[in-house]
Amino acid sequence: MKKRVLSAAILIAIFVPLIIIGGLPFKIGVGLVSILTYKEVIDLKKREKDLPSIIKVFGVISLLLIIYTTKNDYILELGISFKSIGALLLLLLGPVIFYGSSEKYTSKDAFYMIGWTFLLGVFFNILIFLVDYNVLLLVFLILITVLNDTFALIFGKLIGKHKLIVNVSPGKTWEGSICGLVLGSFVAIMFYLNLINGSVSVIRLSLLVLFLSIIGQVGDLVFSKIKREAKIKDFSKLIPGHGGLLDRFDSLIFVVIAFLIMFTII
């Protein structure tokens, strides 16, 4: 527990100043973190096979192109562009023909890399967008995921009796999930009303936060499913007591993407 708390304190000490400062320092920080996160994806694949080095390089290039897409290049304000998508497909799908019948890099490998690259690229791109637009929105979304997870863990241990999805995440319970959903959403709603926009419709805001909280729990379960299929406990041991970056970003990835979609609609 001490190791987990110390690691969390160090992460906060590193990332909070970067988020507050924003601008170029934050963008550089996002780039570095994205590469470390991408390494976890490549290492996950390595459990099955080690991909060619050139493919890993192309993957990082594609990832950074999506992350640093500027607002002027956005498609429908969704934080992606035709240029970055085109580069992603050409760099990661095109090379399969050069390996012929070899199993070193197949079309299945290509779509694995494309899927993860696109997902992480869009996620980190949105983080930059949120900090440039209103840093408090990013804090708001982080609160939803962190508080939801924290309250679910606490109340799951205190009163949890009915397992949520045993074959995916045996430690999660319905009681913990519901308590995390309600209490986490309440705190996030209060944060939004007091620090972001107090004139917004409380009903609409509450529905949005509840929706995002559910999406966050779904994201957590999806990544738990991925780990269970790979027969691993954590994506890496980068953060003592917490696992890897993907272990920390799991629900946040789903929440920020869902939020941006709702943001463009509402």
From the list 169, 168, 164, the residue with the least C-alpha distance to 181 is 164
Confidence of residue 149 (pLDDT cuts 50, 70, 90): confident
pLDDT (mean) for 208-222: 93
Alpha carbon distance 125, 128 (integer Å): 5
Amino acid at position 139, single letter? V
What's the pLDDT at 5? Answer: 55
- 78, 253, 262 from 61: Cα distances, Å: 20, 20, 29
pLDDT (mean) for 3-11: 60
For tokens 């957590």, the residue is 220
Q: pLDDT tens, 33-54? A: 999 999 999 999 999 999 999 9
Alpha carbon distance 223, 202 (integer Å): 31
Dihedral angle, C-alpha 240, 242, 243, 244, nearest 10 °: -100
DSSP state of 238: S
Three-state SS at 40: helix
Of 247 and 240, the structure prediction assigns the larger pLDDT to 247
Most distant pair of Cα atoms in the chain: their distance: 62
**Residue 108 pLDDT exceeds 80:** yes
Alpha carbon distance 229, 63 (integer Å): 25
Alpha carbon distance 57, 54 (integer Å): 5
Confidence of residue 79 (pLDDT cuts 50, 70, 90): low
**Residue 16 pLDDT exceeds 60:** yes
Alpha carbon distance 54, 102 (integer Å): 15
What's the pLDDT at 23? Answer: 86
Confidence of residue 155 (pLDDT cuts 50, 70, 90): confident
Domain ranges for the chain: 2-265
The span from the first CA to the last CA of the chain, in angstroms, equals 41
